[in-house]
Amino acid sequence: MSASLLENLNPEQRAAVTLPHESALILAGAGSGKTRVLTTRMVWLIQTGQVSPLGVLAVTFTNKAAKEMMTRVSAMLPINTRGMWVGTFHGLANRLLRTHYREAGLPQSFQILDSQDQLSAIKRLMKAMNVDTEKYEPKKVQRFINGNKEAGLRARDVEAFDDYSMRMTELYEAYDAQCQREGVADFPELLLRAYELLYRNEPLRQHYQDRFRHILIDEFQDTNTLQYRWLKLFAGPRTALFAVGDDDQSIYAFRGANTANMAEFEREFAHGNVIKLEQNYRSHGNILTAANTLISQNAHRLGKNLWTAEGEGEPIRVFHAYSDQEEASFVVDEVRALNREGMNLSDMALLYRSNAQSRVLEHALFSASVPYRVYGGLRFFERQEVKHALAYLRLLTNPEDDGAFLRVVNFPTRGIGARTLGQLADGAARAGTSLWQAACTAGGKVAGFAKLIEDIKQVTADLPLAEAIDHVIEASGLADYYRADKEGADRLENLNELINAAALFAEESEAATYDAVDASAPAGAESFRALDTFLAHAALEAGEHQAGAGHDALQLMTVHAAKGLEFHAVFITGLEEGLFPHEQSAYDSTRASARSGSESFRANEESGLEEERRLMYVAITRARRRLYLSHAQSRMLHGQTRYSLPSRFLDELPEQVLLNLNRRNEPAYSSGSPKPAEGYKGASGYSAPAAPRSPQTGNDTGYKVGQSVVHAKFGTGIIIDFEGRGADARVQVKFRNAGSKWLALAYAKLAPA
């Protein structure tokens, strides 16, 4: 069977799959079949007897990817995959901590705080400590805590250099103590606690190093510092690491991703053993030529060149709009034309760099009655009514969870006011207990709430998971509350969907990525209750998004959200300086190093630009057959009209693969635009102009707002303001590399671009 397993692989894929027992870096370009290589490598190792299913550790970045990997393995191998360790970093860390909760210093039924729950816990802590929330904003405290955890730093390890950082460190330490007391863990804590567990427990570390002979990592370019350190703890002297990634698609620096991990991995483990997957099975040749040429501008990359056997395909269409409304109108016209020609709306994607751009696009689509879906809306497990139900469930398994207690103690309303809760909190603080314990000894309505939870717990103790959740929703009063609300029908449907989710989870529990009792784990591992595992599943799945089924709709999303997706036709909009590349990228990357000298400043500014270029590379490589690029001369953002130069990324694309599109008989926006093909007409009647015309003047000087100009000293820019007439006229020009400047036309030596 091993021969048939390999027969449809190209030479590079086959070389990666059949590597001997050694570590390697697989540099997998966009659309090169990396998921296929990963799963086939796993199956090949098991099928050829080199490792048992329990000896494989496979790490992904999304639950969807982990599930797809397990599905493919199950289809190719007649084995029970239940005991295999395949999942996300956080999912596997959760599994490790559940199995070894005693060694990790956690209660067996510890609960996971999502981002919103964590913020609520921080606010509660700051209130108890009388902290000024204007000086120490809760969200900044949250970022401080998470940033340090993701760097592997506890409060005692953080370097405090002034009063502000000292106070932030104190809050971090107090927050950790509160979480420990309540038996909860946030997302960054899962990985940090798992890392600490393996680092300090040598017998346990040795056990897993002996067990996992092969470690496979997907999307390695997205790993942060702590994730890489955690992986290295699993790597013993006999372990082979198989890291698959693409440094050209590293776009999550704002989340802590460290693209330098790839080069470090090559030095530490691969020792130059690098296989490049460059044959692309997604896009036509012109799209790949554009992507290769663009990304070659980045200096800090491992290097590869995508190619395809599918031919050059269609040219890349470029549209130069005078306004964001005209850009939106163009997109709508092209989408409708493609749809009339037989392309499904769901096979098209409209991408933008910033969410603020979507308003004009959505308005144009709505006005034209084009169905669309914004990818990445409010997720199911983050909806208010679902989080209320989950809080009740959390109290059933862990009454010490103060965050869950406070969320539902007075929801639906039971007449328990802020004063009563304040007194309860004071009593709990004096006694050193949880709010639940204080409520059990209190009287009145608070005691009534405690009795309600105890009654629910008693009734649901022996019920199947879905029936137990159904009872909680009814007995808690949530169902009646939303039935009585005239706008509560949708929320009630979501609660019913939660019951459905529980039923489906129970059915699929046998194929879950972690098992209740690991037969090969050290003694002491105990099984979980179904509700515990479902709550962990809910927290871990909170980031997954599922669009409504049965409706053909155009997909709208940011470029970041498009990572990992592909479409027949892709529109990349807003290609303007300051928007894409985003002006904030340079600021974010330089503000931390601005005090360390101009060379460091320039280096970090370039790093920010390189990440933006990688983001553009990701956007381009989402397209299979047709790609549109557009920009607007003027755009309404944040209530103001802004004039911008075309993105430098347009200048970095090869002219021979580009085709200018503009309305018939209208000029292209920039005289430096790629040359069009004479007589070509776009799907919706847009055509390449025969020749550009000079811009019309709006005054007696020959210049107008929005016109591209060139200055001998400052370079290329665009006129954004104008005042005066004749010899007294002056213009404000926004230069690409010199900022905005007012220039007197009589002396400026300005020329049309």
Which residues are part of the catalytic machinery? 34-35, 218-219, 249, 622
CA nearest 374: which of 543, 561, 549? 561
* Dist CA 528 CA 99 (whole Å): 9
- Neighbour tally for 558: CB within 10 Å: 19
Largest separation between any pair of C-alpha atoms in the chain: 90
The percent of the chain in helix, strand and coil, each rounded to the nearest 5, is 50, 15, 35
* Dist CA 628 CA 626 (whole Å): 7
Is 635 in contact with 651 (CB distance < 8 Å)?
A: no
Residues 6+ apart with CB under 8 A from 669: 320, 321, 322, 631, 633, 646, 662, 708
Query: What residues pair up with 640 in beta bridges, in sequence order?
Result: 637
* Dist CA 435 CA 426 (whole Å): 9
Residues 6+ apart with CB under 8 A from 668: 320, 660, 662, 676, 689, 692
Name the DSSP letter for residue 709: E
* Dist CA 134 CA 436 (whole Å): 30
* Dist CA 467 CA 458 (whole Å): 13
Q: How far is CA 295 from CA 264, 363, 625, in A?
A: 21, 33, 20
Q: Which residue has the tokens 């400026």?
A: 748
CA angle 327, 330, 336 (to 5 degrees): 140
Q: Taking the CA of residue 678 as centre, how many other CA atoms within 13 Å lie in the half-sphere pointing to its CB?
A: 2
Residues 6+ apart with CB under 8 A from 508: none
Which class for 694: exposed (0-12), middle (13-18), buried (19 or more C-beta within 10 A)?
exposed
Paired tokens of 674: 């790629």
Residues 6+ apart with CB under 8 A from 630: 318, 319, 320, 321, 327, 330, 331, 571, 572, 573, 574, 575
Is 173 in contact with 155 (CB distance < 8 Å)?
A: yes
Q: Which residue has the tokens 């964001």?
A: 324
* Dist CA 271 CA 257 (whole Å): 22
Paired tokens of 641: 């009209």
Is 148 in contact with 160 (CB distance < 8 Å)?
A: no
Q: How far is CA 115 from CA 301, 363, 396, 509, 639, in A?
A: 33, 31, 21, 26, 30
Amino acid type, 50: Q
Displacement of CA 485 from its chain's centroid (Å) = 35
Is 250 in contact with 259 (CB distance < 8 Å)?
A: yes
Which class for 524: exposed (0-12), middle (13-18), buried (19 or more C-beta within 10 A)?
exposed
Name the DSSP letter for residue 268: I
Q: How far is CA 522 from CA 58, 144, 191, 429, 513, in A?
A: 21, 36, 20, 38, 19
Beta strand ranges found along 180-273 (DSSP E): 184-186, 214-217, 240-245
CA nearest 115: which of 190, 188, 193, 192? 188
